[in-house]
Amino acid sequence: MLTTKEAIERRRSIRKFKAKPIPEDYITELLNAARLAPSGCNAQPWRFKIVEKPDIKAKLAQAAYDQAFIATAPIVIVCCADIQGYLDGTVSGAQDLGKIAAIEDRIVTILEHKAERLKTVERDELGPRIAANVAIAIEHIVLRALDFGLGSCWIRLIDEQRVREMFEWDDSIYVVALLPLGYPAESPEARKRLQLRDILID
Ligand SMILES: Cc1cc2nc3c(=O)[nH]c(=O)nc-3n(C[C@H](O)[C@H](O)[C@H](O)COP(=O)(O)O)c2cc1C
């Protein structure tokens, strides 16, 4: 098992995969890692679809502007936000946090008002906003996958509507990213990163 530091440092975006299948219990572990992610008001808006069928993976690759490598992964996880689930979960989650005094009553009230205002926001604006929560869960999957020797690559360059229509999901689902996953068939060098001094604002 890797330490968190090792996982963070060793992770690479993997775009070449072995054909070797992924054991089902690994997938369960990855979804558990996602489930444990933090989220605003503990609303937990992440939803996942595991795709193994070659024809569906090929369609996903097409919907990602023909990033063909996606279809070569044994599994593609379609990572989504449940917009309605988020709206409902924000209010109940804030109230639950208030009951256990994790947050002040004053903050619960602010969050309830915020949730009320969110209901008036257009779906196309809400999806990307809620996506921040889903992104944390996705990165949990990405990092935990390294414990099983698995690699993945975030895919955000997607035609969101096309992916949603493929599965006949209504517009309460916002597709955040695809995550092709498998045993790496490449060992890329670390990509360039900004220096510490470059990421601090005066
Ligand atoms: C939000 C997000 C979207 C990304 N979308 C794509 C994508 O559509 N296609 C792709 O090949 N890589 C994609 N990447 C991978 C990045 O290119 C990669 O993380 C970056 O080049 C740094 O390389 P590394 O992940 O190996 O450190 C994405 C990464 C993130 C975090």
Q: Could you tell me the domains of the chain?
A: 17-83+126-185 (3.40.109.10)
Is there an atom of ligand 1 within 6 Å of 13 CB?
A: yes
Q: Which residues are registered as beta bridge partners of 182?
A: 151
Distance 85 CA to ligand 1 centre (A): 27
Is there an atom of ligand 1 within 6 Å of 157 CB?
A: yes
Amino acid at 200: L
* pLDDT per residue rounded down to tens, the chain (202 residues): 999 999 999 999 999 999 999 999 999 999 999 999 999 999 999 999 999 999 999 999 999 999 999 999 999 999 999 999 999 888 888 889 888 888 899 998 998 898 889 889 999 999 999 999 999 999 999 999 999 999 999 999 999 999 999 999 999 999 999 999 999 999 999 999 999 999 999 9
- The atom number, within ligand 1, closest to the CA of 157 reads 8
Is there an atom of ligand 1 within 6 Å of 152 CB?
A: no
3-state helix, strand, coil in the chain (%, to 5): 50, 15, 35
CA distance 47 to 167: 13
